[in-house]
Structure 1
Amino acid sequence: MKNALDTVLAYHQRTKHHFQHYAAGPGGLDWKNQPNPFRSFTGSPQLALPLLTAASYPAYADLYTPGKIAPQALTLNSIAALFELAFGLSAWKQYDDTRWALRCNPSSGNLHPTEAYLVSAGCEGIEDGVHHYVSRDHLLEQRCRFDTASNRSERILPPDSFLLGLSSIHWREAWKYGERAFRYCQHDVGHAIAAARYAAATLGWHVQVLSIWGDAEIGAILGVDRDQDFDAAEHESPDAILLVTASAPGCAAVEPDAATLVNAARRGQWQGHANVLAAHHSHQWPVIDEVALASAKPETLEAAWQAPGLPEPVTGGCGRTAVEIIRQRRSAQAFDGVSTLPAKAFYRMLDLTLPRQAVPPWDATAWAPRVHLLLFVHRVDDVAPGLYLLLRNEGIEAKLRAELNPEFEWLQTPGCPAHFSLFRLVAADAKNAARALSCHQDIAADGAFSVAMLAEYDTPLTATPWVYRQLFWEAGILGQVLYLEAEAAGVRGTGIGCYFDDAVHDLLGIKDAFIQSMYHFTVGTALEDTRLQTLPAYAHLVRGGV
């Protein structure tokens, strides 16, 4: 019988794509049973949330200056704004009679396995309890009403705060991607964490992933462990819980007690039953349940990590508001293959992937960076085409130099900011390599540059298999940074989940599993599909805004 670590390692190896064959998938799509993109709970009381209006919003550039945006009061309106900007709809797309929604938080294949929950106590206009967010209708469904009468002697949450819970419905991704779907669900959790952090920053709020808490506590609080509320419906797996605090800059957030929240949830009144997303599952992927169980996170004590004191990020030229950038984020479907990217925009994108103190989205996480960027530079002004490596944690440099291909140059990139650990490995036309490694997709070669995200792998997983999920989260957060920064620079990004894992490692000369490729991404000038109509996100709702 395999232990948890062996199960996780075996899953990762089993779900790699290879030039000779792809990881196990459905082979074809069962369109008649495509999962409903919206989870809801029948019988739960609903609270319609106010929509954002054309009010004044902070500049996108201000998100990165600590203390620049004064914190707004914690109200129903401000909470509604956070959920709309983090998880709400950004538009509808239509082609002939087919219509689908886009959301502010990205998702592999636009399948959206991530569900969001609000845990509130003491917020005017919202009953104390656990609420599920329905993005289609921008409303909260109250899943649990806390027994406030018996909780008067204990504070459930710190003042001016609430919890934001995340869970995943693995079937949503597995329907299309088969066994590799668990990876993509974890990418999406990372995107969701970053989306929540950016949305909170527009309100002057802070977000912290409560990384000590275990999955059992999170599942009990969100109610996703209540089998009786799901019946035949697709279950949700607990992922993360975030503390959102509306307080003045510099005020330390007080972490709530998990046991107190679990007790409040167990004593509360639960309502509602989950909807069935697909009446028939044409394929079963038991390996996803196996790796989910093996990578379950217990309650842990983690050493605090302090981000280094870096200079202010490279300045950008974006004059748009944060709300505009968040709402206009899209995944490019194709690039023009000729446009170049200014070096300043390129360096700013890379600069914001480096963790800084009190700067989103990295101030939401408490672990040291373990993911580094292998860059295929195609068309960046004043940067020679080739293969580059950006190290986000300098402690790995010596080992990489010793382990990677000995013929690499390791040339410090001329003209890049002094605090970058950006090395040119090979000066060459890297377009064909980028295309081939990303499952022969032209989009990896036609942009200004593409990225393979390389995670420190075997060492962090040895004692803590659940870190496997965290590595994908970090990659997803990186993807969200690149998405928004691409929009701010007037170009567009796209996450790439299909790539040939070991072929990337072979390119670098990696002989073991100390580094693994976890996610690919590409940035360039997008070609618009003029056949598609773009429709307003919430035209189907008629109600006031904030």
Structure 2
Amino acid sequence: MPPPPLLRVRLHSSRTLAMIHSSTSHLPHHLPQNQIETNNITQAITYHDRTKHSLTSGYARGPGRLDWVNQPNPFLRFTPSPSFPLLHPTSPLSPHYPTIFDSFPSSPLPLSLSSVSSLLYYSLSLSAWKTTGFSTWSLRVNPSSGNLHPTECHIVSPPLPNSPYNTSPFVSHYCPKDHSLEIRAVGHQNLKLPITSDSLIVVFSSIFWREAWKYGERALRYCNHDVGHAIAAVAISAAALGWDARLLDSLSHSELEALIGVTKTYPPLPEPLPTKPLRGNLPWVESQHPDCALVLFPANTNFTINYPALREFVKEFSYSEWAGKPNSLSKDHVCWDVIYRTAGAIKKPADDNCFSVNPFHKSGLISENLYKDFTVYEVVQKRRSAVDMDRVHIMEKETFYQILLHCLPSGEVGPGEKQGRNFTLPFRVLDWDAEVHLALFVHRVRGLEKGLYFLVRNEGHFDSLKKAMRSQFEWTRPDNCPETLPLYRLAKGDCQDLAKQLSCIQDIASDGCFSLGMVARFEPVLREKGAWMYPRLFWETGVIGQVLYLEAHAVGISATGIGCYFDDAVHEVLGLEGKEFQSLYHFTVGGPVLDKRIMSLPAYPGPGENAY
């Protein structure tokens, strides 16, 4: 029986890409604040439209070819700066993978050199080296688009027991290549970091150039996907130690810059910014852009943050002496001007919101038997991005439902409660309600009809979604779907060719068990909260993506994030018009094809595998 007309729709782009070079990062100071914010939102939306891939207008602007001579170094170092190695766990204890979504371990580990080492080893370290004999490259525990790793990690710590810095607070940079910390600045002994002695702050920053080298103007999107993956990776690793995690999102972009010494380390961006792509030796292109800070603390405790005291600490600590200069990543660069102009428009301002921690909700669990007998640490280290799918593996319906249950923000909810607030691991790290939903293309799930499905992750959006999407959609609950899983079938039919076409004609989107597009409530969020929510929507997709990666490996298969897709063609299939909802990330899950020509080597060679 042929698929219904809906799944055989002829796709076309509804608009050409905007090519407007409008600057909002250097607005006149006399503009009223509401006009500045309106201009910033316009810049974010303009960037988003401009960087869409189109079936008819072509791909977003990029380099066209790869300049291998100037491929950025994936490892940042600060020289000279004090450095000390972190411990390499040899026999780590960690919870059975599915139990981490049920509760935190009852006894959190104390903050120490050993626990910080484990936190970073099982979230951001190298997981392997790969070689073909002609070339060798590293993989990391946290995924990255193109394996380019624009995300850098900084640790802001109180005095750390069993370390060389056990009397004063300090800021360090994490070096995954050798699993070590570089000390950037040390506070005086009378300066107190205003968090409890058993807590820690992690700051993420992005080097846009690492992604832009390959992906051009669309790179800002991918950098923020990676931030989301890193946030989830750290939250999961922290949970295995018995620690909870929460964004410190009332801090401003400039406060984060001061906290990790950006202005003390890098040359300032030129004023005015270029108004077109610029080639040359441009050291400022390698600057770090602070993204966010997380605080990690013992779970199930009455933890709080005094933001005024933390701001005073940041101010005083910024006067510290900063050690080391960053190594050069490339000899020559291309400045994709719209990236830096948009980054300026989406900076987070400070706010007066109070710090709060959401109650913990367990995620729905059908059966632990659906998972392999892996610990959390085994799953995160086995995670790989599949290059191809085998077109053979068939997923059981219960496994499909289980994966989606772990993608829900609120988990097990009581009678009358709906999905929306972020209570479950790792989504509880975010301090806004869920804004991202999943449009699913089901290809090979036993007991589930092929077709287009939709997971509503915030049920407060249900009416808006149904009104915005095609009127022909069924919105039917599939058979035996868990009651707490808001999953709906929109249309029956084989959508393998459609999924492939939407994801830039990539077979990997059609050859697995299922693929999906992450659809976010978009312009209303920016209007309600501000332009600074633009990157945060991508962070949320990255957190979801990290869960999909881990779930796939925990059941014995694989997954891959897909950043290349035809944006407005996705919207057309769903019937979405305007910018109320936008597709921000694609993903695919299935049985991987392993390339036997590539050899795996230990992440950290030594006397024993992965031993220091």
TM-score by length of 1: 0.95
Whether the aligned pair in 2 keeps the contact of 1:377 and 1:386 (CA below 8 Å) is yes
The 1:342/1:250 distance shift into structure 2, 3 A limit, reads farther
The aligned counterpart of 1:333 is: 387
**Counterpart residue number, 2:553:** 487
Taking the aligned partners of 2:607 and 2:522, their CA distance within structure 1 comes to 46
1:286 matched to which residue of 2?
Answer: 337
Which residue pairs with 1:131 in the alignment? 172
2:11 is matched with: none
Contact 1:316 1:345 in 2 (8 A): no
Instruction: Show the 5 A alignment for 1:253-332.
Output: 253-254=304-305, 257-281=309-333, 283-302=334-353, 312-317=364-369, 318=371, 319-332=373-386
**Which structure 2 residues correspond to residues 276-425 of structure 1 after superposition, within 5 A?**
276-281=328-333, 283-302=334-353, 312-317=364-369, 318=371, 319-356=373-410, 359-425=424-490
Rounded to whole Å, the distance in 2 between the matches of 1:316 and 1:79 is 29
Moved more, 21-30 or 225-234: 225-234
Deviations 1:11-42 (A, max 9, x none): 00000000120000000000111110101101
Alignment match, 2:124: 87
Q: Secondary structure at the match of 1:180?
A: helix
CA contact (8 A) 1:343 1:381 kept: yes
Cα distance between partner residues in 2 of 1:43 and 1:453: 43
| Residue identity in the other structure for 1:267 | Y
1:243 equivalent to 2:308? Answer no
Structure 2 gap ranges (5+) = 1-21, 25-38, 269-281, 411-421
Offset at 1:385? 0.5
Equivalent residue letter for 2:458: N
C-alpha distance in 1 between matches for 2:513 and 2:609: 42
Measure the CA separation in 2 of the matches of 1:115 and 1:210: 17
Does the residue aligned with 1:219 lie in a helix, a strand or coil?
Answer: helix
Per-residue deviation, 1:64: 1.2
Once residues 212 and 306 of structure 1 are traced to their aligned partners in structure 2, the CA distance between those partners, rounded to angstroms, is: 16
CA contact (8 A) 2:233 2:546 kept: yes
**Tell me, what secondary structure is at the counterpart of 2:123?**
helix
Matched position secondary structure for 1:503: helix
**1:173, 1:82 → 2: CA distance?**
26
**Among candidates 420, 428, 440, match of residue 505 of structure 2:** 440
Partner of 1:199: 237
How far apart, CA to CA, are the structure 1 residues paired with 2:170 and 2:378?
32
CA deviation map 1:262-319 (0-9, x unaligned): 12422322110011101111x3200000110011111124587957967633333331
Q: CA 1:161/1:262 → structure 2, altered by over 3 Å: closer, same or farther?
A: same
Residue number among 127, 152, 157 corresponding to 1:115 in the alignment: 152
1:77 aligns to what? 114
Offset at 1:261? 2.7
Correspondence for 1:96 among 119, 130, 133: 133
* Deviation at residue 228 of structure 1 after TM alignment: 4.9
Distance 1:84-1:423 versus aligned 2 partners, 3 A rule = same
Could you tell me whether the CA contact under 8 Å between 2:63 and 2:214 is conserved in 1? yes
For the pair 1:450 / 2:488, whether they are aligned, the reply is no
Check if 1:22 corresponds to 2:53.
Answer: no
- Match of 1:376, SS state, is strand
Give the drift of 1:86: 1.1
Query: Which residue in 2 is equivalent to 1:504?
Result: 570
Which of 83, 87, 97 matches 1:60? 97
Query: For the Cα contact (< 8 Å) 2:558–2:589, is it kept in 1?
Result: yes
Paired residue for 2:602, among 536, 539, 546?
A: 536
Residues 229 and 273, structure 1, Cα contact 8 Å, conserved in 2: no
Residue of structure 1 in register with 2:588 after alignment: 522
Aligned to 2:19: none
The answer on whether the counterparts of 1:4 and 1:294 sit within 8 Å (CA) in structure 2 is yes
CA distance in 2, matches of 1:192, 1:139: 18
Root-mean-square deviation (Å): 2.1
Q: Give the C-alpha shift of residue 58 in structure 1.
A: 2.1
Post-superposition Cα deviations, 1:141-172, rounded to whole Å, max 9, x if no partner, equal: 001111224x2xx5533221111010000000
Deviation at 1:542, TM superposition (A): 8.7
| Cα distance between partner residues in 2 of 1:544 and 1:64 | 27
Moved more, 223-232 or 314-323: 223-232
How far apart are 1:330 and its partner, in Å? 0.2
Provide the secondary structure at the position in 2 that maps to 1:332. coil
Q: Counterparts of 1:252 and 1:157 in 2: how far apart (Å)? A: 9
Of 60-69 and 18-27, deviating more is 60-69
Change (3 A) 1:121 1:507: same
Instruction: Tell me whether 354-363 or 218-227 shows the greater mean CA deviation.
Output: 354-363
SS in 2 for 1:270: coil
How far apart, in 2, do the equivalents of 1:359 and 1:502 lie?
Answer: 32
Q: Cα distance, 1:383 vs. partner?
A: 0.9
Once the two structures are superposed, what CA deviation does each residue of 1:361-416 show, in whole Å capped at 9, x if it has no partner? 01211210000000000001111100001000011111111121111111112211
The alpha-carbon distance between structure 1 residues 532 and 508, as it changes in their structure 2 partners (threshold 3 A), is same
Report the Cα distance in structure 1 between the residues aligned to 2:48 and 2:71, rounded to whole angstroms: 26
Match of 1:5 in 2: 41
Distance of 1:305 and 1:140 partners within structure 2: 29
Whole-Å separation in 2 of the counterparts to 1:372 and 1:482: 14
Asked if 1 retains the 8 angstrom alpha-carbon contact of 2:81 and 2:324, the reply is yes
Between the aligned partners of 1:418 and 1:290, the Cα distance in structure 2 is 46
Equivalent position of 1:212 in the other structure: 250
Contact 2:363–2:424 under 8 Å retained in 1: no
More displaced stretch, 358-367 vs 160-169: 358-367
Q: Does 1:169 align with 2:207?
A: yes
Q: Deviations over 1:190-237 (max 9, x none)?
A: 000000001101111111111111111111101123245799361000
Alpha-carbon displacement from aligned partner over 1:497-546 (angstroms, at most 9, x marks no partner)? 00000000000111211000000000000010000000000006999969
Instruction: Give the match for residue 418 of structure 2.
Output: none
Q: Give the letter aligned to residue 290 of structure 1.
A: R
Instruction: Give the length in aligned residue pairs.
Output: 541
Rounded Cα–Cα distance in structure 1 between residues aligned with 2:160 and 2:363: 38
SS at 2:283 equivalent = coil
Specify the code of the residue in structure 2 equivalent to 1:129.
Answer: F
| Partner residue of 2:535 out of 469, 480, 495 | 469
Q: Which residue of 2 aligns with 1:182?
A: 220
Cα distance in 2 between the residues matched to 1:438 and 1:117? 34
Counterpart pick for 2:189 among 143, 148, 152 = 148
Secondary structure class of the residue paired with 2:446: coil
Does the C-alpha gap of structure 1 residues 81 and 468 become closer, same or farther in structure 2, counting only changes over 3 Å?
A: same
| Residues 171/373 of structure 1: CA separation in 2 closer, same or farther (3 Å cut) | same
